[in-house]
Amino acid sequence: MENSEHHFMAHHELSPYYQKVFHTLISESDRGAVLLGVSLIDEHLTMLFEKILPESVSGKRQKEIFNFTGPFGSLASKLDIALVCRLLPIEIVTAIHKIRKIRNAVAHQTISLNLKEYQAQLYEIFTLMGTNVNDSISRMTKEMILKDTLNILTVMEHPTEDGNPLFEGKADAIEYLSKNGKVLKVLEEKRPRWELALGVGLICGMILLYRDEVIETLGCNKTIIGALYEAKEFGMKHQRQRVADELPPNQQNGADCA
């Protein structure tokens, strides 16, 4: 999946996520981050099904289908339908099911949640998304937290020297961080929430990728069987044409009639 030629993380529909929602998510409590993250995944799944509905389906019928009492009323049912209809790979469906179960667990906890307790489970989810995704998310998280922290530190003013910066530059700020264990501990506590946010963005991006591929294949009103039949017919026609092109000129007319 990570080798897809589609740069799904650059999908234009993900822009609002990284411009606003991502920052909202990492600013939430650990419990809030999980609940919001899974809600976003749920919304993207709903949009997948809404987008592939035939254009002839009325607005009233759409509301009935996607009503919370209907067949698409829960995240679990949407995942089951996506799996049965082969709209999403089993790895993506399994990953979302796992994060859904984390959501269910933390939603019913009465004690304060520390997302670090679920970090191993999050890594299992990321692994399902592709080889080396764990390492990529871990690396990106560290880079983003460091960049965010340095942006804050380098604009801070000195408490006793009016108008002067607290740090002379990024190198000075990095040296301060390296020697301040308490600050590093606080930054480390942020990491699971940032990793979750990146993972949610990755899952939403994959849903958008497969949704677009399904729409491109089905068009407005085709069925999956109809689209497969067209593809098969196109392949057979292309194969016959290739065979005909390889025949001597005096035999090509006969091949066309075959």
Give the pLDDT band (50/70/90) at residue 5.
very low
Kindly report the average pLDDT of the chain as a whole number.
85
Given a cut of 90, whether residue 148 has pLDDT beyond it is yes
Paired tokens of 37: 């993250």
127 to each of 5, 7, 91, 136, 207, how far by Cα in Å? 20, 19, 9, 11, 17
Q: How far, rounded to the nearest angstrom, does the alpha carbon of residue 201 sit from its chain's CA centroid?
A: 4
Given a cut of 90, whether residue 102 has pLDDT beyond it is yes
Paired tokens of 59: 């607005």
As a whole number, mean pLDDT of residues 155-178 equals 89
Correct CATH for 8-130+176-210 of 3.30.465.10, 1.20.120.330, 1.10.3720.10, 1.10.645.10: 1.20.120.330
Q: Which residue would you say has higher pLDDT here, 104 or 227?
A: 104
According to the model, what pLDDT value does residue 246 have?
Answer: 64
pLDDT digits (tens, 9 = 90+) for 8-28: 567 788 888 888 889 999 999
Paired tokens of 134: 């764990």
According to the model, what pLDDT value does residue 82 have?
Answer: 95
As a whole number, mean pLDDT of residues 120-147 equals 92
- The CA distance from 91 to 100, in Å, is 14
Domain residue limits, the chain: 8-130+176-210, 223-258
